[in-house]
Amino acid sequence: MTSRAQTSIEAGPAAPETGGAAKGWYLYGITRRAPLAAALAVADDGPAFTVGAMSPAGDDPPLQLLEFGGLAAVVRPVLLAEFSLAVVQERQRSAAVLEEMVRSHNRVVEAVHARQAILPAKFGSVYADTRDLASALGPEHDALLRQLDRLEGCDEWAVHLYADSAVVRKRIAAEDPAIRLLREEYVAARPGRAYFLDRQIRDEVEAATREALVTIAQTAFDRLAEHAVAAQVNPAGPVPENAEETEILRASFLVSRDVAARFEEGVHSTVDAGEGLRCDYSGPWPPYSFAARDAEEAR
């Protein structure tokens, strides 16, 4: 299940517990006010959102735009009772239901993103009243417009760079000048001295390998960042026990579509730059990570 919709602007408070058929508004994201009927129709042409739907048959009501000055909130009417704390907690126990809701959220964001910039809302954001949404957006109106300007025409790309530590270690042991000198000294040393030199060589190789991996990661990040409007390093994933590879770089890049081909070429050249490297990358995506960061900086 993707979790990308969870990085976003802080959309506001979740709906309070309530009963009956009270209606609220599920927020997908904030964009510029514009004719978006075609984009919303594309987003609606998919599996039903179902959870929180207004109709007895379980069919979703159509997506709507709520306009606030130069901004527009992409929303769908939902039943507030379906987003009470108890219902949300129960829903989280079903991976299939939760995954379909996340996919539905992403589908709407991607449809608008294909047309114009959007600041994705946090997955599961519901407002009980349009006045609450207006109050949340009002103080940030101009800042949100500036963020949309910055994101216009850009996509997010995710890059994961892995290294086979054993391959890098072997290369370091063979090529590092200081380690070669220690090896030469080791060959001519007496047993006692050879023992300590052997320990020193192993320590030097490990230290040089760690340093080389950091340098490789930083060089790759800097090279790719040259083609990006913005870039950020993310925490690397855990290393599985007995894994041959180590993730040395996990990063997100905000890339203008005009230079996307050059960015991809840069990704491939990063892998070609050294033996024992592997790179996974994905995109283009809506700018989830950078919309979140921009919103935090605007506060």
Last residue in a domain, options 93, 125, 151: 151
Of 100, 113, 159, 131, nearest in space to 8 by CA: 113
> Which tokens is 298 given?
């605007």
In angstroms, the CA 181 to CA 208 distance is 14
Q: What spatial distance separates the first Cα and last Cα of the chain, rounded to whole Å?
A: 30
Is the same domain home to 130 and 176?
no
Q: Is residue 297 part of a domain?
A: no
Do 227 and 132 sit in the same domain of this protein? no
Spell out the per-residue pLDDT of the chain, length 299, in tens: 233 333 233 334 444 444 457 889 999 999 999 888 888 888 877 665 555 544 444 566 888 999 998 999 999 998 888 887 777 777 777 777 778 888 888 999 999 999 999 999 988 889 998 899 999 898 999 999 999 999 999 999 999 999 988 888 888 877 788 887 877 776 777 877 777 877 888 888 888 888 889 999 999 999 999 999 999 999 887 766 666 788 999 999 999 999 999 999 999 888 765 678 888 999 999 999 998 644 444 44
Cα→Cα distances 70→13, 139, 165, Å: 23, 13, 52
**Domain termination residue (choose one: 122, 151, 180):** 151
Q: Count how many Cα atoms sit within 13 Å of the Cα of residue 134 in the half-sphere of its side chain.
A: 7
135 and 162 part of one domain:
no
Do 165 and 286 lie in one domain? The reply is: yes
Whether 255 and 154 have beta carbons less than 8 Å apart is answered as yes
d(CA 192, CA 198): 10
Claim to verify: residue 174 and residue 241 sit in the same structural domain: yes
Same domain, 204 and 284: yes
Q: Answer yes or no: do 252 and 138 share one domain.
A: no
Residue-number span of the structural domain to which 9 is assigned: 4-151
Q: Give the pLDDT of residue 3.
A: 33
* Integer CA distances (angstroms), 122 to 78, 190, 230, 294, in order: 16, 66, 21, 14
Domain boundary among 151, 173, 193: 151
**Domain for residue 165, yes or no?**
yes
Asked if residue 19 is part of any domain, the answer here is yes
Within-domain flag for 299: no
| Number of domains making up the chain | 2
Q: Do residues 160 and 147 both lie within one domain? A: no
Asked whether residue 296 is domain-assigned, the answer is no
In this predicted structure, what is the pLDDT of residue 197?
Answer: 77
Instruction: Assess whether 134 and 177 both reside in one domain.
Output: no
